[in-house]
A and B are shown apart, each in its own frame.
Chain A
Amino acid sequence: MELGIDVRNVESCAVVDVKGEIDVYTAPKLREKLIELVSEGSYNVVVNLEGVDFLDSTGLGVLVGALKRVKAHDGSLALVCTQDKILKIFKITGLTKVFPIHDSIDEATAAASG
């Protein structure tokens, strides 16, 4: 089981395109990448979940951890997701109140650029 992670810069944001299944086994790879981005000075991060087929509580925990890191630098962490089965996970856990969730990368980067 592989998790694909690609990072590109759009506007003033680091956009992280994630592909595959984020679970207790693969989530550490995403955690490392997000920690690396913040330590390199990327404080406005957009995580694109459109290519994600599966997300569990460990994956949610990684996103919450990254949010705390960027907030410590007055940054932002936004998500891009339109898939009902993934959005459902955020709704059940109440995290729709914690993360800005956008329909597209353009919308997410525009919101982050203010």
Chain B
Amino acid sequence: MALVEIEVPSRTAYVGVVRLALSALARSAGLDEDVVDDLKIAVSEACANAVLANEDADGDVPVTVAWTETDDGIVVEVGDRGPIHDPRPDEEVDSQGFSTRSVLSFSLLSALAADCSRTPREGGGMSTQMSFPRPG
């Protein structure tokens, strides 16, 4: 079981850095290319949400990313120290009925990760856990 942990500053410029690092890890772990594409999007959404949550909390704290390889696949966990937040799609549309960014983001997260859950972290903030399958 391999574990890689990354901490990046809570700035949007670093979301692409995490995306690049994790897509390289996913390829070296032997994930199918379409799963790598799904992982890139899901991880980017989780990281962007974490950066925006930390900005809301106005704290100079990093976003943490943990990558774990198991026999079944990959588990990625993204942590922030922002407010506890659980979007409800039917309540998050604008005046013209369009989904807000956070709803679009959580639609992508839940569709592209094999499993996705969000839980409060010890010490404050939220953690998003996502899993991705290995081929076969």
Question: Which residues of A does B touch, CB under 8 Å?
Answer: 1, 21, 23-25, 54, 56-58, 60-61, 64, 68, 85, 89, 92-94, 98
B interface residues, tally (CB under 8 Å): 26
Q: Which residues of A contact B104 (CB under 8 A)?
A: 57, 60-61, 93
| Nearest-Cβ distance from residue A94 to partner chain B, whole angstroms | 8
Stretch among B44-52, B66-74, B114-122 lining the A interface: B44-52
| Nearest-Cβ distance from residue B96 to partner chain A, whole angstroms | 6
Among A24, A61, A89, the one with the most B-chain Cβ atoms within 10 Å of its Cβ is A24
In the complex, the chain A residue whose C-beta lies closest to that of B95 is: A68
User: Which one of B15, B48, B112 contacts A92 once the chains associate, using CB atoms below 8 Å?
Assistant: B112
In the bound complex, CA of A94 to CA of B93 (Å): 13
| Nearest-Cβ distance from residue A66 to partner chain B, whole angstroms | 12
In the bound complex, CA of A94 to CA of B98 (Å): 10
In the complex, the chain B residue whose C-beta lies closest to that of A60 is: B104
In the bound complex, CA of A98 to CA of B98 (Å): 9
Q: Which residues of A contact B19 (CB under 8 A)?
A: 23, 54
- Any chain A CB within 8 A of the CB of B25? no
Q: Is the interface of B mostly helix, strand, loop or mixed?
A: helix
User: Which one of B34, B40, B101 contacts A58 once the chains associate, using CB atoms below 8 Å?
Assistant: B101
Q: Is the CB of B111 within 8 A of A56?
A: no
Question: Which residues of B does A touch, CB under 8 Å?
Answer: 12-13, 15-16, 19, 34, 37, 40-41, 44-45, 48, 51-52, 96, 98-102, 104-105, 107-108, 111-112
In the bound complex, CA of A57 to CA of B105 (Å): 5
**5 interchain residue pairs of minimum CB distance:** A57-B105, A24-B48, A57-B104, A25-B12, A61-B101
Q: Which residues of B contact A92 (CB under 8 A)?
A: 107-108, 111-112
Q: Which residues of B contact A25 (CB under 8 A)?
A: 12-13, 15-16
Q: Which residues of A contact B44 (CB under 8 A)?
A: 23-24, 54, 56
Q: Is the CB of A57 within 8 A of B48?
A: yes
Q: Is the CB of B107 within 8 A of A64?
A: no
User: Which one of A54, A94, A98 contacts B40 once the chains associate, using CB atoms below 8 Å?
Assistant: A54
In the complex, the chain A residue whose C-beta lies closest to that of B97 is: A98
Sample 18 A-B pairs with CB under 8 A, ordered by A number: A21-B16, A23-B19, A23-B44, A23-B48, A25-B13, A25-B15, A25-B16, A54-B41, A54-B44, A57-B48, A57-B101, A57-B108, A58-B101, A68-B96, A92-B111, A93-B99, A93-B104, A93-B107
